[in-house]
Amino acid sequence: MGISYMDSSATQRNRNYLARRGETNLGDFLADSLRYGTSADVAFCMASACATDFSAGDITAYNLLTLFPYDNSLCVVEVQGKAILDALEWGASSLPDDSPVLIQVSGMSYEIDLSVPSGVVKDENGDFVRYEGEHRVKNVYIGGIPLELDSYYKVAGSDFVLRYLGNGFTMFRNANVVASEYSTECLLFKNYIRSFPDSTIGDEYSNPHGQGRIIVR
């Protein structure tokens, strides 16, 4: 495809799993590609989608297949801020251990305070039920404005998570589906790349640890 890209981590060792512990540039890019061309306020991308990486250079069809082995369709749902906070808490509940459901984000930022034990309550299937106690996810901002739990926001992401509640994301059960006619993740990724001059990804994605959207402390 003749597209310049970037490593998804600073070192070869364990770089495939950095997105399960915090923000990465690949996570930023994938989340941005899911929000591109939609009406969504934010986009969610699971860390498990960043389980592979590739070095700077041209992106190939094989690279895309390793990034999107299931190539789910994108949808946009409207939910209250509380559901967003619950989703972030669910994604961060396993930290500091690896969390394949840690949420890489676009259009927002948040912090995770590891000194606070996770208050996630699960059901017998291991799915999210509710959150109790002090939140370890703090300082959530959407478009630079603090998250309001009672306000409604449009969230873009995989239909596997947002519509079919995959990976235990049951907090989206009552989400209002705004749009579900979008292309697959792979096609959206290609379209986002083509939006750059000469289909070359810019320096804004050069930092292996991302743009400061997720702070883990």
Q: Where are the domains of the chain?
A: 15-216
Which tokens hold the place of 121? 């309550």
16-25, 26-35, 74-83, 116-125: segment of lowest average pLDDT: 16-25
Residue 36 pLDDT: 92
Stronger pLDDT, 143 or 200, i.e. the higher one: 143
Q: What pLDDT is attached to residue 54?
A: 64
Please give the angle made by the CA atoms of 124, 48 and 130, to the nearest 5 degrees: 35
What's the CATH class of domain 15-216? alpha beta
Q: Could you report the per-residue pLDDT of 60-111, keeping only the tens digit for each?
A: 777 777 777 677 889 999 999 999 999 999 999 999 999 999 999 999 999 9
Query: For residue 52, what pLDDT band results from cuts at 50, 70 and 90?
Result: low
What gap in Å lies between CA 199 and CA 96, rounded to an integer? 36
Residue 40 has pLDDT above 50, yes or no: yes
Q: In what helix (H) or strand (E) does residue 216 lie, and over which residues does it extend?
A: strand 214-216
